[in-house]
């Protein structure tokens, strides 16, 4: 009798241990996450002029290939950061709305659970990571993403001379067949963290500047830590203009849009 | 006219022992098309997926359409055959094997598409949970990983379900043939002697498989539908998708079975075995599935329309009235408006009638898969990103190649295996003459009669 029960017992105890380990690790995770950074971006739509300096800066910083006229016309252009244009009204009373859209770094990201190889995953700092080497190119993440911010390398990227000389050594170049997307300039986050650690100090608000925020002339883009109540993003996130894109889908995005209040002509919209 | 057992053997073994030059020609032609399709895939793997028509935001196109389509076709077989076996429908006997073969081949073809469509197909093995030195496993939360397991389970199950009842027939070929054929079929028949013990084991094995394969088949297409339903994409994220896909799969499966049977009847001269009765009965099943399909489409469309959710309505209107409307209404015509009268009116439910209806249904169900995938992806939430999709020659070549591949595999199989189960037909004769069934008691039991419990 005893012998018959033995495998059952050991199976049960293994299960119990597994459960304990899972609970423990998830508890540790929640405890840790309090002290952790929660990187977020605020986009002030009142300030955005639609100049697309952010788009250019992003291309330069992140080694994003240009695909050429023909491929771009087909819909294969890759812009981790794009400025969407929406038109309101009929000619001549047309108003153009700009909205910069990039990876929303969702806390409940639809792209993550669908990836069969963990190429898209949630980092400890709450970013939506994309492991290029692990990506096999199912493109499922891009379909699941409601914001259409994921891009696929349909061909091996080519940089026409002399553009090949300006590749950023801190960012890997992606090969054919993998997905890519905005990383919140994770290389800059890491660099700032390392510098702060070397100087034996905490990261200050404003230490990390993604390329787009750095190059935005009207300062429509503000980057920072939402877990730090004194940061600029936390202050702006408390604005009554603050909203999130497609919030109703429950993706919990970490990009906060400050809605447009005026058209610059004194009239409320 | 009843055929005698010897005549049955003679008729059904003929394709295995004699081959006409026309057959070689057809096989060569089909094989050439398949080779071209493989070359197209090689070209795509070498150059990148850019040679396909895929683009942002339509990242899935013809390949996934074909994937869902072929997996759907694969439900012809095993599921229908298992249900007919369990229901002890005696007319099933000449039909079951050609149905089970469709499953195995359509599933193998369908399972190739998730690999064909990969950006880096050479890394497809990362879906297998093998112990790697980096200790990385596949992501079990991903429906694509569920697919991997569901399809492989179904493939293994349906191969077993197909092979088990072939054993006695391979043994028969072994006994009739000479030379290399005798050796090959001797090996394949796994030492089948036809002892009562072997018969009873075969019988219980088939009974178990017939029961097990039904939930497996249902789960496979449910999981295929979850590839879509799990993603928050307008008109994908729907609870109806599981049963909707399963019903559609059985629908297209029956149509494929009718087409396959019509081809076999014509090319292998099986007029005395695949009779109008079989087409009539399968036609009734097809009619029922056509109604069920229409019910699902109606329920899906009406609830979407009344729900009036803006992002869903964008997809809704593009299929009802917009760019995809011609395809949508062609689909409704092919899947319902055309087959319904043909199959509902007894006078029209002939062999020709069911073949016309089935051709329409196969085309319509292919369109249905396309219309589920592409309009939703091209009309997601942010209108700035709306786009279109048009396949290139690479995708079309590969698709044509899979149809040729299916015909090729079917032709080769019909040459290697009696496409109609000989022993099951003879068993049918046994059941009719009680005298003989008393004489050969061991064999006389019903295959799946359920009248008597078997004890081993």
Q: How far is Cα A176 from Cα B48, in angstroms, rounded to an integer?
A: 6
Greatest CA separation found in chain B?
A: 78
Nearest-by-Cβ selection for B377 from A71, A143, A155: A143
Name the average pLDDT for chain A: 87
3-state DSSP percent of chain B in helix, strand and coil, to 5: 75, 0, 25
Q: Return the C-alpha torsion angle B387, B393, B394, B397, nearest 10.
A: 130
Asked if B352 has any chain A CB less than 8 Å from its own CB, the reply is no
pLDDT at position A97 is 87
* CATH classification of the domain holding A128: 3.30.70.20
- Distance between CA atoms of residues B291 and B340, nearest Å: 8
Where are the alpha helices (H) located in A145-207, listed in sequence order? 186-198
For residue B143, give the chain A residue with the closest CA.
A114
Distance from CA of B392 to the nearest CA of A (A): 12
Sequence-distant (6+) residues with CB within 8 A of A46 are: A220, A241, A258, A260, A261, A262
Cβ–Cβ gap A177/B230 under 8 Å: no
pTM of the model: 0.89
Inter-chain residue contact B136 with A114, CB threshold 8 Å: no
Q: What is the mean pLDDT of residues A235-258?
A: 94
Least CB–CB distance from B233: residue in A139, A143, A179: A143
Q: How confident is the model at residue A32 (pLDDT cuts 50, 70, 90)?
A: very low
Chain B contact for A140, CB < 8 A? yes
Gap from A177 CA to chain B (nearest CA, Å): 4
8 Å CB contact between B360 and B320: no
Does any CB of chain B come closer than 8 Å to the CB of residue A74?
Answer: yes
> Average pLDDT in the A184-207 region?
93
A114 CA to chain B: closest CA distance, Å? 4
The rounded distance, in Å, linking the Cα atoms of B348 and B280 is 10
Q: How far is A34 from chain B (nearest CA, A)?
A: 26
Q: Is residue A3 part of a domain?
A: no
Q: Does the complex come out with an ipTM higher than 0.90? A: no
Q: Residue B150 — φ and ψ, nearest 5°?
A: -65, -45
Q: What tokens were used for B315?
A: 């997809």
- B115 in contact with chain A, both atoms CB, cutoff 8 A: no
CA pair distance A179, B374, nearest whole angstrom: 20
Pairwise CA distance, residues B149 & A234, whole Å:
45
Q: Is the peptide bond before B282 cis (omega within 30 degrees of 0)?
A: no
Q: Is A84 on the interface with B (CB under 8 A)?
A: yes
Query: Could you give the domains of chain B?
Result: 5-128+136-444 (1.20.1630.10)
Burial B413-443 (b: 16+ CB within 10 A, else e): bbebbbbbbbbbbbbbebbeeeeebeeeeeb
| Interatomic CA distance for residues A166 and B178, integer angstroms | 74
Distance CA B87, CA B28 (A): 40
Look up residue A66 and give its DSSP letter: P
- Are the beta carbons of A76 and B55 separated by less than 8 Å? yes
Query: Taking a C-beta distance cutoff of 8 angstroms, is the pair A155, B120 a contact?
Result: no
Q: How far is B340 from chain A (nearest CA, A)?
A: 35
Interface test with A, best of B61, B135, B382 (most A CBs within 10 A): B382
- CA dist A40 and B280 (Å) reads 65
Give pLDDT, residue A18. Answer: 57
Cα–Cα dist A9/B124, whole Å: 38
Whether A86 sits inside 8 A of B384 (CB atoms) is: yes
Cβ–Cβ below 8 Å for A176 and B119: yes
Phi, psi for A258 (deg, rounded to 5)? -95, 115
Q: Which residue range is the domain that position A209 belongs to? A: 46-258
Strands A221-225 vs A39-44: parallel, antiparallel or unpaired: antiparallel
Residue of chain B whose Cα is closest to the Cα of A121: B139
Q: Do the beta carbons of residue B360 and residue B293 sit within 8 Å?
A: no
User: What angle (nearest 5°) sits at the alpha carbon of residue B34, between those of residues B29 and B40?
Assistant: 130
CB contact under 8 A, A135 and B120: yes
Residue B226 C-alpha, separation from nearest chain A C-alpha, in angstroms: 11
Is A116 within 8 Å of B377 when comparing Cβ atoms?
A: no
Residues B393 and B399 sit within 8 Å (Cβ to Cβ): no
Chain B residue with CA closest to A136: the answer is B120
The answer to whether the Cβ–Cβ distance between A142 and B56 falls below 8 Å is: yes
Contact B72, B256 (CB under 8 A): no
Q: Where are the alpha helices (DSSP H) in B379-421?
A: 393-416
Q: What is the pLDDT of residue A164?
A: 86
- Inspect the interface and report whether the beta carbons of A143 and B47 lie closer than 8 Å: no
- Cis ω on the peptide bond leading into residue B305 (within 30° of 0)? no
Q: Minimal Cα distance from A247: which residue of B? A: B381
Identify from B45, B49, B56, B149 which residue to disrupt to test chain A contact, counting A C-beta atoms within 10 A and taking the largest count. B56
pLDDT of residue B6: 79
- B134 in contact with A at a CB cutoff of 8 Å? no
Size of interface A-B (CB pairs under 8 A): 137
Per DSSP, B126 falls in state G
Question: Of B417, B415, B437, B416, nearest to B426 (Cα)?
Answer: B437
Inspect the interface and report whether the beta carbons of A75 and B57 lie closer than 8 Å.
yes
What is the pLDDT tens value at each position of chain B, 456 positions in all? 467 777 778 778 877 777 888 899 999 999 999 999 999 999 999 999 999 999 999 999 999 999 999 999 998 777 788 888 888 888 888 888 889 999 999 999 999 999 999 999 999 999 999 888 888 889 999 999 999 999 999 999 999 999 999 998 888 888 887 788 888 888 888 888 888 898 999 999 999 999 999 999 999 999 999 999 999 999 999 999 999 999 999 999 999 999 999 998 888 888 888 888 989 999 999 999 999 999 999 999 999 999 999 999 999 999 999 999 999 999 999 999 999 999 999 999 999 999 999 999 999 999 999 999 999 999 999 999 999 999 999 999 999 999 999 999 999 998 888 888 888 877 877 777 654 445 455 554 444 444 444 433
Domain count, chain A: 1
- A116 in a structural domain: yes
Pairing of strands A39-44, A255-258: parallel
Residue B397: partners with Cβ closer than 8 Å, 6 or more residues away:
B36, B37, B40
Task: Nearest chain A residue to B49 by CA: give it.
Answer: A154
Determine whether the interchain pair A152/B377 forms a contact, defined as Cβ–Cβ distance below 8 Å. Answer: no
How far apart CA A256 and CA A43 sit, in angstroms, is 6
Cross-chain Cβ contact A75/B380 below 8 Å: no
H-state helical runs in B230-338: 241-267, 276-307, 310-320, 325-332
B256 at the A interface (CB within 8 A)?
no
Q: Which residues contact A64 (CB under 8 A, 6 or more apart)?
A: A58, A78, A79, A80, A180
In angstroms, the CA B158 to CA B88 distance is 19
Judged by a CB distance cut-off of 8 A, whether residue B135 touches chain A is no
Which residues in chain A touch residue B314, judged by CB atoms under 8 angstroms apart? none
Q: Which residues pair with A262 in a beta bridge?
A: A268
- A136 part of contact set with chain B, CB < 8 Å: yes
Q: Is A91 on the interface with B (CB under 8 A)?
A: no
Residue B233, chain A, CB below 8 Å: the answer is yes
Say how far apart CA A78 and CA A104 lie, in whole Å.
16
Whether A179 has its CB under 8 Å from any CB of chain B: the answer is yes
């Amino acid at each position: 009798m005893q012998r018959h029960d033995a495998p059952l017992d050991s199976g049960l105890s293994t299960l119990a241990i597994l459960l304990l380990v899972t609970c423990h690790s998830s508890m540790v995770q929640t405890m840790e996450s309090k002290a952790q950074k929660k990187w977020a971006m605020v986009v002030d739509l009142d300030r955005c002029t639609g100049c697309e300096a952010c788009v250019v800066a992003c291309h330069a910083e992140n080694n994003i290939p240009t695909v050429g006229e023909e491929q771009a016309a087909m819909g294969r252009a890759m812009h981790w950061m794009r400025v969407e244009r929406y038109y309101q009204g009929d000619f001549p009373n047309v108003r153009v709305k700009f909205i910069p859209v990039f990876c929303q770094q969702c806390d409940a990201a639809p792209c993550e659970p669908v990836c069969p190889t963990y190429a898209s995953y949630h980092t400890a700092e709450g970013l939506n990571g994309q492991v290029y080497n692990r990506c096999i190119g199912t493109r499922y993440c891009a379909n699941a993403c409601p914001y259409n911010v994921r891009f696929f390398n349909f061909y091996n990227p080519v940089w026409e001379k002399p553009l090949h000389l300006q590749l950023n050594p801190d960012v890997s170049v992606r090969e054919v067949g993998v997905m890519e997307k905005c990383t919140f300039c994770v290389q800059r986050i890491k660099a700032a963290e390392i510098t702060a650690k070397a100087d034996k100090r905490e990261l200050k608000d404003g230490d990390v500047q993604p390329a787009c925020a750095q190059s935005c002339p009207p300062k429509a883009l503000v980057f920072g830590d939402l877990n730090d109540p004194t940061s600029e993003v936390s202050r702006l996130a408390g604005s009554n203009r603050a909203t999130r894109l497609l919030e109703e889908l429950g993706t919990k995005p970490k990009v906060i849009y400050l809605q447009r209040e005026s058209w610059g002509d004194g009239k409320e919209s | 006219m009843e055929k005698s057992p010897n005549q049955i053997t003679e008729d059904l073994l003929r394709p295995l022992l004699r081959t006409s030059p026309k057959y070689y020609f057809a096989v060569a032609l089909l094989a050439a098309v398949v080779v071209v399709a493989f070359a197209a895939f090689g070209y795509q793997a070498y150059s990148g997926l850019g040679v396909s028509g895929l683009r942002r935001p339509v990242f899935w196109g013809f390949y996934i359409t074909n994937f869902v389509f072929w997996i759907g076709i694969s439900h012809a077989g095993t599921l229908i055959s298992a249900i007919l076996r369990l229901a002890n429908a005696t007319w099933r006997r000449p039909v079951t094997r050609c149905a089970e073969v469709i499953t195995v081949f359509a599933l193998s073809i369908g399972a190739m598409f998730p690999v064909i469509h990969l950006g880096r197909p050479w890394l497809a093995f990362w879906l297998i949970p093998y112990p790697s030195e980096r200790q990385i496993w596949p992501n079990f939360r991903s429906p694509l990983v569920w697919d991997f397991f569901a399809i492989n389970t179904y493939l293994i199950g349906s191969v077993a379900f197909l092979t088990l009842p072939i054993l006695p027939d391979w043994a028969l070929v072994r006994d009739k043939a000479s030379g290399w054929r005798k050796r090959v079929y001797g090996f394949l028949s796994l030492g089948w002697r036809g002892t009562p013990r072997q018969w009873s084991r075969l019988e219980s094995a088939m009974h178990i498989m017939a029961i097990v394969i039904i939930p497996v088949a249902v789960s496979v297409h449910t999981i295929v539908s979850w590839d879509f339903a799990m993603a928050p994409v307008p008109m994908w994220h729907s609870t109806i998708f599981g049963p909707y896909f399963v019903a559609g799969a059985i629908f297209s499966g029956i149509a494929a079975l009718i087409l396959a049977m019509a081809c076999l009847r014509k090319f292998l001269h099986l007029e005395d075995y695949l009779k109008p009765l079989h087409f009539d009965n399968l036609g009734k099943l097809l009619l029922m599935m056509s109604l069920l399909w229409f019910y699902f489409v109606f329920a899906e469309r009406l609830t979407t329309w009344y729900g009036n959710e803006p992002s869903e309505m964008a997809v809704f209107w593009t299929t009802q009235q917009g760019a995809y409307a011609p395809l949508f209404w062609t689909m409704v015509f092919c899947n319902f408006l055309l087959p319904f009268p043909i199959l509902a009116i007894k006078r029209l439910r002939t062999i020709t009638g069911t073949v016309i209806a089935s051709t329409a249904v196969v085309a319509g169900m292919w369109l249905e898969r396309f219309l589920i995938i592409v309009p939703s992806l091209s009309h997601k939430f942010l209108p700035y990103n709306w786009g279109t999709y048009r396949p290139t020659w690479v995708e079309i070549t590969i698709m044509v190649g899979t149809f040729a591949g299916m015909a090729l595999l079917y032709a080769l199989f019909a040459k290697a295996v009696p496409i109609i189960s000989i022993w099951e037909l003879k068993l049918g004769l046994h059941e009719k003459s009680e005298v003989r069934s008393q004489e050969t008691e061991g064999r006389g039991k019903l295959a799946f009669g359920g009248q008597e419990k078997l004890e081993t």
